DNA sequence: CGCCAGGGTAGAC
DNA sequence: GTCTACCATGGC
């Protein structure tokens, strides 16, 4: 093992790491000794912002610049996205001004994202985080950086190999253990190819349909996975918070459509970046 | 103790 | 299509 490396990533656009990670829909970031500690694609990474750059430390020789640029979606023209959303809706325009640094992340492991959102049902954010971390600690590999100890997230193969016992013992609740096993089986059977679904040639509708083919994955969880890990920016996850925000801002005097109808209304109203609008509405409710 | 929480499902109308 | 009970655990 080589010594840890310290590098700096040049951002080249308005960016605030603390704001990005605070609003991030990724449950694996921790504070550690003045750094943000996270596990990305099996790498333990420490990051912090220095001026207009992001400084990071990691053990890997692999090109983490590319990984982080993809993760933070620095390839998005965020100014153009904000302009497009603002021109479509007055409320969203005000939220863009209020939270200019909020971003969607492109999570590198759609399987981890899937398990995370299966864990998210009827749970608070710290509880979701604890469940995901418990799974990693139980079945992942230990990784260290400086004095920090974390765990990689186990692949579906590992989850299948150890069988249903370990997840059951974690007492995840609401049949979450069985739902995770079921999703892993669909991946093994080739019925759920998450990596292929992350490609642009697989459209949002197909990705969502395939995700919902899993027992325990409905509209909301499918939209979360599509938005945060499968690069489908028109996805619009409707949870209790977003539903309330929509009722307050857009359906005060009208009857609010339910389920899929509301998602389609949002996609028509907000356009191809509906996911960013969703992120703004959700974050504002949390705030 | 009672209540509710980033959902999903099956069974009842 | 819409409503309801149920699934389980932890925090308040």
pLDDT above 90 coverage of chain A, percent: 96
Predicted TM-score of the model (pTM)? 0.97
Number of neighbours of residue A162 by Cβ within 10 angstroms = 13
> Helices A274-286 and A260-270 meet at what angle, rounded to 10?
110
Euclidean distance between CA atoms A241 and A39, whole angstroms: 28
Residue A93 located in a structural domain = no
Residue A189 located in a structural domain = yes
Segment A114-131 shows an average pLDDT of 97
Euclidean distance between CA atoms A208 and A210, whole angstroms: 5
Residue A28 located in a structural domain = no
Segment A137-158 shows an average pLDDT of 98
> What length is written for chain A?
287
Q: Does position A1 have pLDDT exceeding 80, yes or no? A: no
To the nearest 10°, report the CA torsion of A241, A245, A246, A250. Answer: 170
Euclidean distance between CA atoms A221 and A211, whole angstroms: 9
pLDDT in tens, A229-255: 999 999 999 999 999 999 999 999 889
Q: Which two tokens stand for residue A242?
A: 């977003």
Residue A141 located in a structural domain = yes
Residue A162 located in a structural domain = yes
Q: Which two tokens stand for residue A51?
A: 């001026």
- Contact at 8 Å (CB) between A15 and A102? no
Segment A26-34 shows an average pLDDT of 97
Rounded CA–C1' distance between A67 and C4, in angstroms:
46
Domain count, chain A: 1
Q: Does position A222 have pLDDT exceeding 70, yes or no? A: yes
Per annotation, catalytic residue among A220, A232, A255, A272: A220
Pick the closest to residue A207 from A186, A187, A193 (CA basis). A193
* CA atoms A17, A21, A22, A25: torsion sign: positive
Domain of A156, in residue numbers: 110-229
Euclidean distance between CA atoms A57 and A20, whole angstroms: 18
Mean pLDDT of chain A: 96
pLDDT in tens, A67-107: 999 999 999 999 999 999 999 999 999 999 999 999 999 99
Q: What is the model's pLDDT at position A13? A: 94
Rounded CA–C1' distance between A175 and C8, in angstroms:
8
Q: What is the CATH number of the domain that holds A164?
A: 1.10.340.30
Residue A173 located in a structural domain = yes
Residue A53 located in a structural domain = no
The reply to whether the CB atom of residue A254 sits less than 7 A from any atom in nucleic acid chain B is no
Question: Which nucleotide is closest to A228, CA to C1'?
Answer: B6
- Lowest mean pLDDT across A3-7, A138-142, A145-149, A179-183: A3-7
Flag residues 65-104 of A with CB < 7 Å from strand B: none
Look up A220 and say whether it is catalytic.
Answer: yes
Q: What is the model's pLDDT at position A60? A: 78
Residue A158 located in a structural domain = yes
pLDDT in tens, A149-165: 999 999 999 999 999 99
């Amino acid at each position: 093992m080589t010594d840890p490396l310290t590098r700096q990533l040049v951002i080249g656009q308005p960016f605030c790491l603390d704001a990005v990670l605070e609003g991030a829909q990724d449950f694996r970031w921790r504070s550690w000794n003045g750094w943000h500690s996270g596990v990305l694609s099996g790498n333990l990474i420490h990051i912090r912002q220095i001026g207009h750059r992001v400084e990071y430390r990691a053990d890997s020789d692999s090109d983490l610049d590319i990984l982080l640029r993809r993760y933070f979606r620095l390839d998005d023209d965020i100014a153009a996205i904000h302009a497009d959303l603002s021109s479509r809706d007055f409320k969203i325009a005000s939220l863009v001004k209020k939270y200019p640094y909020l971003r969607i992340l492109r999570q590198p492991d759609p399987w981890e994202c899937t398990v995370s959102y299966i864990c998210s049902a009827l749970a608070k954010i710290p509880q979701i985080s604890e469940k995901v971390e418990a799974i990693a600690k139980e079945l992942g590999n230990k990784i260290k950086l400086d004095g920090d100890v974390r765990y990689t997230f186990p692949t579906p193969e590992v989850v299948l190999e150890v069988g249903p016992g370990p997840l059951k013992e974690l007492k995840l609740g609401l049949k979450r253990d069985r739902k995770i096993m079921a999703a892993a089986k669909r991946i093994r059977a080739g019925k759920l190819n998450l990596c292929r679904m992350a490609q642009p040639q697989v459209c949002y509708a197909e990705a969502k349909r395939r995700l919902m083919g899993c027992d325990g994955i409905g509209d909301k969880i499918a939209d979360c996975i599509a938005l945060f890990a499968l690069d489908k920016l028109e996805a619009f996850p409707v949870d209790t918070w977003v539903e309330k925000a929509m009722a307050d801002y857009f359906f005060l005097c009208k009857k609010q459509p339910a389920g899929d109808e509301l998602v389609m209304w949002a996609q028509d109203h907000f356009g191809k970046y509906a996911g960013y609008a969703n992120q703004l509405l959700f974050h504002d409710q949390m705030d």
